[in-house]
Structure 1
Amino acid sequence: MFVIIGYVFMCVCILGAYAWHGGHLAVLWQPSEIVIIFGGGIGAMIAGYGSSLKSVMKAIPSIFKGSAYSKAFYMDLFALMYEILSKVRKEGLMSIEGDVENPDASPLFSKYATVAKDHHVIEFICDYLRLMVGGNLNAFEIENLMDVEIEAHHHEAEVPAQFMAKLADGLPAFGIVAAVMGVVHTMGSLHLPPSELGKLIGAALVGTFMGIWLAYGFFGPLATVLETKVNEGTRVFQTIKVTLLASLNGYAPQVAVEFGRKAMESHMRPSFLELEEHVKNKKG
């Protein structure tokens, strides 16, 4: 939603101010310039990110959606973690073996549909609960393994944001390419009257304008949005990591969940009493 609002506000201000001073918007429509800029930029990105295009295309729709990791998601995540760790504390680690081996069929996981539909989160939780059940790794070793996996996941998820950032960086240069080609065309048309030459020069300069406008007005912000979403996903894994490690180090479930709550960003973090009440209601 904010992406669309930002685009509309930007276009109204830029194009509106141009038209207010007598500029003709039709002059900005130069299909050949747009083809050069987009064709050059996207072609270069295909050459550099060809093997990652699938992940880029998959990430694009998420730009126009809200965050998948809302406060409600975290509340359910903590409630799930609390139930799992409470079961472990009362019945032992072996009591959750069936849950972690087949989370889709687990009543415990299916109770929290908001969390259960995120297979990356469920896989992360189950993998480390499985290691805890095995009992062959200590807290330090598990923490190190978690850090390695979180870093790998972060770098993989960063690819679409890097794609957009590189595309934004390249578009002004391709705008200059379009402008130079327009000037070359103009130089070959010096026999035309000044009025016609003016149109050709204006069309060439549109290439520079379009390259800069598309880069900083459209694709640059998309890179920022995608980077923000990557960081939000990484924060979820960090929260789970802190909670599980606190439990592994002997803290009670309610304390372990409190560790996880403290790992959240402040603008989304529920209060202690708010989370406690939610956990009790879910468990009940």
Structure 2
Amino acid sequence: MDPAPSIGIALAFVVMVLFNILEGGNPLGILLFPPMLLVFGVTILISIAGSSTQDAKNIPKSLKLAFAHKVAPAADLVPTVVTLAEKARREGLLALEDQLRDIDDPFLVKGVTMAIDGTDPEELREILETEVDAKRAEYKQYAKFFADCGGYAPTIGIVGTVMGLVHVLEQLSTPEALGPLIAAAFVATLWGVLSANVIWLPIASRIKRVSELETSRMELAVEGIAAIQAGSNPRLVAEKLRSLLPSDQQSAEAA
């Protein structure tokens, strides 16, 4: 589990509460159920309306991906692929079958297994690259749902404020009640903007980042599998795979 999203969002709320207190406000004053119900409820519902039933079913899976999923660095695959390349070069592809049991990367295992089974190299690359594209498209849709929430939430907040101000205008005969009513009306706008920028959009960005990391790892695995199947020199395999890594991971992997 990567704690970055949970820590970031939690600390953002802590800072905002601290700011509110330092400004002389009362944090409980913004924890009003009606505007929160309107902003969160309507935002999620209209985002579902703009998606599909399957997208709605994938919300728990998307949240788990954002908060609980941790992608191992692509650099971790390099030693594994090089070891497989060395063994395949010395003993042939069939010798890799037993070694695959100790590898915990399903995509790499699948690709090497297909290579062992004699799948045509071009066909194998096409199959694996199609799987990478499918994974990227899946995560893109997950991120889109929360990005849509981030787009709708501020507008829903404004709608809530307008509805609250309509209620304020109905109370003009009681001036002493206008202050609290106006303040409550603007809480909806606050939650609309706040939820968009502190919850929805960060979740969408987190899913996009997970997608980048995971598909990059898969792409590196594709190149490694192709090299193993071709019987390439393990040293050249290592250099090629390192060249696909970000510069900071290249240094760490070489060390």
Q: TM-score range by the shorter chain?
A: 0.7 to 0.9
> How far is the alpha carbon of 1:172 from its aligned partner?
0.6
Sort the Cα spacing of 1:273 and 1:164 in 2 relative to 1 into closer, same or farther, 3 A. Answer: closer
Q: Is the 8 A contact 2:143 2:208 kept in 1?
A: yes
> How far is the alpha carbon of 1:176 from its aligned partner?
1.2
Q: Is the 8 A contact 2:168 2:182 kept in 1?
A: yes
Deviations 1:110-132 (A, max 9, x none): 334xxx1xxxx42x334433443
Sort the Cα spacing of 1:8 and 1:149 in 2 relative to 1 into closer, same or farther, 3 A. Answer: closer
Q: 1:11 and 1:271 mapped to 2: Cα distance?
A: 35
Structure 2 unmatched runs, 5+:
none
Q: 1:8 and 1:129 mapped to 2: Cα distance?
A: 42
1:110 partner amino acid = R
Q: Secondary structure at the match of 2:248?
A: coil
Q: 1:218 and 1:138 mapped to 2: Cα distance?
A: 44
**Which residue number corresponds to residue 100 of structure 2?**
109
**Which residue number corresponds to residue 137 of structure 1?**
120
Residue among 141, 154, 167 paired with 2:136: 154
**Which residue number corresponds to residue 246 of structure 1?**
227
The alignment of Structure 1 onto Structure 2 pairs a total of residues equal to 252
Q: TM-score, normalised by structure 1?
A: 0.77
**Structure 1 residue runs of 4 or more that deviate by more than 6 Å after TM superposition:** none
| 1:80-95 → structure 2 map (5 Å cutoff) | 80-95=80-95
> How far is the alpha carbon of 1:25 from its aligned partner?
2.7
Structure 1 unmatched runs, 5+:
100-105, 275-284
| 1:77-226 → structure 2 map (5 Å cutoff) | 77-96=77-96, 99=97, 106=98, 108-112=99-103, 116=104, 121-122=105-106, 124-133=107-116, 135=118, 137-139=120-122, 141-192=123-174, 194-226=175-207
> How far is the alpha carbon of 1:245 from its aligned partner?
2.6
Sort the Cα spacing of 1:27 and 1:155 in 2 relative to 1 into closer, same or farther, 3 A. Answer: same
Task: Name whichever of 235-244 and 154-163 sits farther off.
Answer: 154-163
Deviations 1:184-239 (A, max 9, x none): 222222222x2202211111111111100111122211211111111110011111
Q: Is the 8 A contact 2:146 2:200 kept in 1?
A: yes
Q: Is the 8 A contact 2:85 2:232 kept in 1?
A: no
1:57 partner amino acid = P
Q: 1:238 and 1:12 mapped to 2: Cα distance?
A: 39
**Which residue number corresponds to residue 29 of structure 1?**
31
Percent of pairs with identical residues: 23
Q: 1:15 and 1:125 mapped to 2: Cα distance?
A: 46
Q: Is the 8 A contact 1:258 1:272 kept in 2?
A: no
1:189 partner amino acid = Q
Q: 1:32 and 1:56 mapped to 2: Cα distance?
A: 24
Q: 1:38 and 1:271 mapped to 2: Cα distance?
A: 43
Deviations 1:99-157 (A, max 9, x none): 2xxxxxx4x13334xxx1xxxx42x3344334434556344x54444333211111112
Q: Is the 8 A contact 2:82 2:238 kept in 1?
A: yes
2:92 equivalent to 1:67: no
Q: 2:135 and 2:65 mapped to 1: Cα distance?
A: 17
Q: Secondary structure at the match of 1:162?
A: helix
Sort the Cα spacing of 1:272 and 1:13 in 2 relative to 1 into closer, same or farther, 3 A. Answer: closer
